Amino acid sequence: MTCPSLDILGRYFDGELDAALRADVEQHVAACARCAHEFDALRAIGAGVASGEFPTVPIELWPAIQEALESAAVGVHTALPAAHAIRRPRPAGRLGPRRFAAAAGIALLVGLGVLAGLWLGNGKPASAAPIDFSILLDAINADADAAFDGFLKRYRAQRIEASAAHAAAPALDFEVPANLPGGFTRGRVYHLRFGDADGIAAAYHRDDGEFMAAIFHPPVRREHFGTHQDYPCAIGHHRGHAVQVGAWRMVHLTDPSTCHCVLTREQSDGAIAGVMQAIAPRSTPESIPNP
Amino acid sequence: MSPATAEMMNEGEILAGCRAGDRQAQHALYAATSPRIYRLLLRMSGNPEDAGDLTQQTYLQAFTKITQFDGRSALATWIYRIAVTEGLQWLRRARLKRSAVSLVSDTAARNELPASDLRLDMDAALGRLDPEDRTVLLLRYEAGASYREIAELLSCAEGTVASRLHRCRERLRGILGPGYWVTEETTGSVHPTA
């Protein structure tokens, strides 16, 4: 057999030749260096198209789908719900008064209405992109350290010294003490990027391997928790909100400059209050509005 | 269903939950399949905004029509097909829009690269093909569709699919440059029909 055309070779690669011709081409490719080279090229193209990295799915997508589903009660009716506009993050500093009102409305949806109202009432523009905690919460029960690593990767974490944390996120008010109540010792500290805003995360471990994490970020217009329900809670004298995922609880204590988040399996409000006092020592009850 | 069990649902539980309109089951399905769906639609449309809208439409279609899923394929495959259909509809609308405003096709410009730009990653190279060509390649090599299936999806003859694939592969090779697949042993070898 003489060298088949590239078109025939392509059909052979795609498994679209009839049996007789396929056998001829197969035999020829095995013996012909040039056709084998062409076949390698086809294989590289096919494999290249089939593979490739998966881009990050925008975090706004699921809430938009959920919203459309809720408005149409999908699963009960057969009509296709209208797609809802995907709330895409807007550049910092470009929110006009109407947008502030819209942002406040969105914040109300996640139970942050009063806090966000105060923050927006100060006239400060939103400075951070929405934060997707579902990355952390979805995987927390399987492997807490791996879930934390996934969250760090998503927000482009850079390891820093604990002593450099305040300088790395000057707009935030927090502490990352060497020890936390309950026998936890500070491990690695990271600088994160939430859109254009700085954040800090610190990992803590106990001698028995128990993990706890502290994450600090600016108050944001929207936090995503996937399907995990966010509910208001009071920790000590503070009012905040929390998400329970199996044995894990993520508690948020928000004041006008900083949202202090603790991820822990500790269930005692008293013990968590001690941790909050240590990482947010200047966040007084008076600074937090009552809902 | 408690949040703790949502990540551990098997396909049967996800399907049953989705049929009952259970939001956690829907999210479990979305979390498991959306990276591949979004990548497909991003590659087909070539821009994140359209890919996001198409992904949203795909899941709204899927959750609405979940009772029509007959179990002859994996649930993920069924959703993938819905995504392909959404992507093709977008392609037709985009084509109509292009012709309605009498835009001069920039396909040729996209397919020609400066000689210095010989090495690109595959996504960048795919982005330089026109959407129809890109879709044929994606249907064949990412979705694994046969010529007959592609012909049905694109409403054309199988021979057209074959010749189009051949042309697309050659364009892609031209964009990617010779270094993309060449091994040392085969360097310099040129196929007589090239």
Regarding predicted confidence, which is higher, B97 or A255?
Answer: A255
Residue range A225-236, pLDDT digits in tens:
766 666 666 665
What's CA A113's distance to the chain center, in Å? 22
Instruction: Take residue B78 and report the two structure tokens written for it.
Output: 């069924």
Token pair recorded at residue A163: 């002593």
**Is B40 near chain A, with CB under 8 Å?**
no
Question: What pLDDT sits at residue B186?
Answer: 43
Interface contact B170, partner A, CB < 8 A: yes
User: Which residue from A99, A157, A156, A88 is spatially nearest to A126, judged by alpha carbons?
Assistant: A99
Q: Which pLDDT does position B130 carry in this prediction?
A: 84
Chain centroid to Cα A199, Å, comes to 13
Q: Report CB contact under 8 Å: A138, B7.
A: yes
For chain B positions 129-158, those within 8 Å of chain A (CB to CB) are: 137-138, 140-142, 146-147
Each residue's pLDDT tens digit, B145-157: 889 888 888 888 9
Q: Does A227 sit within 8 Å of B27, measured CB to CB?
A: yes
* Dihedral (Cα; A231, A137, A63, B73), 10-degree rounding: -130
Of A4, A6, A57, the CB nearest to B166: A6
Distance from CA of A63 to the nearest CA of B (A): 10
B23/A139 touch (CB, cutoff 8 Å), yes or no: no
If DSSP codes are grouped into helix, strand and coil, which group holds residue B85? helix
The CATH code of the domain at B104-179 is 1.10.10.10
Interface test with B, best of A13, A17, A37, A250 (most B CBs within 10 A): A37
A274 touches chain B (CB under 8 A): no
B-facing residues of A in 139-178 (CB < 8 A) are 139, 141-142
Binary contact (A49, B142; C-beta < 8 A): yes
- pLDDT given for residue A277 in this prediction: 87
Q: Looking up tokens 């954040």, which residue turns up?
A: A199
Return the SS3 of A212. strand
pLDDT at A77: 40
Query: Does the interface predicted TM-score (ipTM) exceed 0.85?
Result: no
What was the pLDDT predicted at B180? 64
| For chain A, percent of residues with pLDDT exceeding 70 | 70
* Domains of chain B, residue spans: 104-179
| Residue A77: CB atoms within 10 Å | 11
Residue A219 CB neighbour total at 10 angstroms: 24
Look at residue B194 in the predicted model and tell me its pLDDT.
54
- CB-CB: which of A6, A14, A79 is closest to B191? A6
Query: Residue A18 and residue A25: Cα distance in Å, rounded?
Result: 11
Residue A37 phi/psi, 5-degree rounding, is -65, -45
In the predicted model, what is the mean pLDDT of chain A?
75
* More confident site: B136 or A108: B136
Residues A98-124: what's their mean pLDDT?
A: 28
Closest chain A residue to the Cα of B8, Cα to Cα? A142
Domains of chain A: 6-50 (no CATH), 57-86 (no CATH), 127-287 (3.30.200.100)
Task: Please answer yes or no on whether B21 and A5 come within 8 Å at the CB atom.
Answer: no
Give whichever of A50-54, A97-101, A279-283, B103-107 has the largest mean pLDDT: A279-283
- At residue A110, does pLDDT exceed 80? no
Q: Do B181 and A76 count as a contact with CB atoms less than 8 A apart?
A: no
Helical (H) or strand (E) element with A159: strand A158-160
Say what the pLDDT of residue A75 is: 41
Q: Report yes or no: A228 at the B interface, CB cutoff 8 Å.
A: yes
* A106, pLDDT greater than 50: no
pTM of the full predicted structure? 0.53
Contact A75 B140 (CB under 8 A): no
Q: Distances from the Cα of A250 to the Cαs of A10, A217, A228, in angstroms?
A: 54, 14, 11
CA-based torsion, B45, B47, B53, B59: positive or negative:
positive
Count Cβ atoms within 10 A of the Cβ of residue B68 and give its class: 0-12 exposed, 13-18 middle, 19 or more buried.
exposed
Does the pLDDT of residue A124 top 80, yes or no? no
Contacts of A13 (CB under 8 A, 6+ apart): A39, A42, A43, A46
Name the range with the highest mean pLDDT among A206-215, A250-259, A280-289. Answer: A206-215
* Residue stretches of chain B with pLDDT short of 70: 1-8, 97-120, 179-194
Q: State the smallest CA–CA distance between residue A278 and chain B in angstroms.
A: 29
Between CA A259 and CA A170 the distance in angstroms is: 14
pLDDT band for position A177 (50/70/90)?
very high
Please state the rounded mean pLDDT for residues A25-29: 92
CB nearest to B24's CB, from A43, A48, A227 = A227
Quote the minimal CA–CA distance from B13 to chain A in Å: 15
Contact A49 B19 (CB under 8 A): no
Q: Single out the residue of B123, A21, A3 nearest to residue A12, CA to CA.
A: A21
Quick one: pLDDT at residue B100?
A: 54
Tell me if B60 and A74 make a contact (CB, 8 A cut-off).
Answer: yes
CB contact under 8 Å between A62 and B27, yes or no, is yes
User: Average of pLDDT values for A114-126?
Assistant: 29
- Distance, in Å, from the CA atom of A43 to the CA atom of B165, rounded to the nearest integer, reads 14
Q: Please, is B104 exposed, middle or buried when counting C-beta atoms within 10 Å of its C-beta (0-12, 13-18, 19+)?
A: exposed
Q: Which residues of chain B make contact with A66, given a CB cutoff of 8 A? A: 23, 27
Cβ–Cβ below 8 Å for A10 and B162? yes
Is the Cβ pair B193, A4 closer than 8 Å?
yes
A250: Cβ–Cβ under 8 A, 6 or more apart, which residues? A133, A136, A137, A242, A243, A261, A262, A263
Paired residues of A235 in beta bridges? A238
3-state SS assignment for residue A94: coil
Q: Per mean pLDDT, which range of A85-89, A112-116, A177-181 is the poorest?
A: A112-116
With an 8 Å Cβ cutoff, is A4 touching chain B?
yes
How many inter-chain contacts (A to B, CB under 8 Å) are there? 173
Put simply, whether A7 touches B (Cβ < 8 Å) is yes
Which range (A20-24, A239-243, B46-50, B118-122) has the least confidence? B118-122
Question: Which among B49, B64, B137 has CB closest to A80?
Answer: B64
